[in-house]
């Protein structure tokens, strides 16, 4: 079942949708030494065998929260990603905890200026009032809520799906 954010069943989406970009109106909050960002200006990407990844407007992050770091990766769907360390207001650092696509591919142009956060590398993330569980593994950055149904990639033995 695919509809608005409140009734997406990713168990279906994982089999039926490959790389769908959606604007969301959910309230998204990321906490790391305080609130880094609280916004309804977000996109989410649904990919086969993944919980959604949320992309948040870079300009809405707490001032000086994002510092670009060296290195990049390439996604066949979205293009070249660059990475960021996140600095909390109290000064602590989460290394390579966020990424963006500065020149996304034509099917993901809306992601320009938006940044995704690994929920495993910050203190807490929320979709509306629900705390997110991080997708297993250190490659994917999916956000798991009670609306998300397994199975999905990330854990041991799932890389080759």
**pLDDT tens digits, 76-120:** 888 899 999 999 988 999 999 999 999 999 999 999 999 999 999
Query: Which of 161, 115, 116, 159 shows the shortest CA–CA distance to 137?
Result: 159
Residue 161's contacts (CB-CB under 8 Å, 6 or more residues apart) are 49, 153
- For 147-160, how does the pLDDT look when each residue is reduced to its tens digit (9 = 90+)? 877 666 666 655 55
Q: What is the pTM of this model?
A: 0.85
């Amino acid at each position: 079942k695919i509809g608005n954010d409140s009734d997406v069943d990713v168990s279906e989406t994982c089999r039926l949708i490959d790389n769908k970009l959606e604007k969301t109106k959910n309230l998204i909050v990321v906490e790391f030494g305080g609130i880094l960002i609280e916004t309804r200006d977000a996109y989410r990407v649904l990919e086969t065998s993944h919980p959604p990844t949320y992309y948040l407007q870079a300009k809405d992050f707490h001032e000086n929260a994002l510092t670009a770091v060296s290195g990049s990766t390439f996604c066949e769907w979205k293009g070249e990603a660059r990475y960021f360390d996140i600095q909390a207001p109290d000064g602590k650092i989460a290394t390579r905890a966020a990424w963006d696509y500065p020149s996304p591919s034509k099917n993901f142009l809306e992601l320009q200026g938006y940044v995704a956060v690994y929920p495993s590398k910050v203190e807490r993330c929320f979709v509306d009032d629900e705390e997110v569980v991080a997708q297993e593994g250190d490659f994917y950055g999916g956000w798991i809520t009670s609306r998300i149904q397994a199975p999905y990639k990330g854990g041991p033995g799932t890389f080759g799906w």
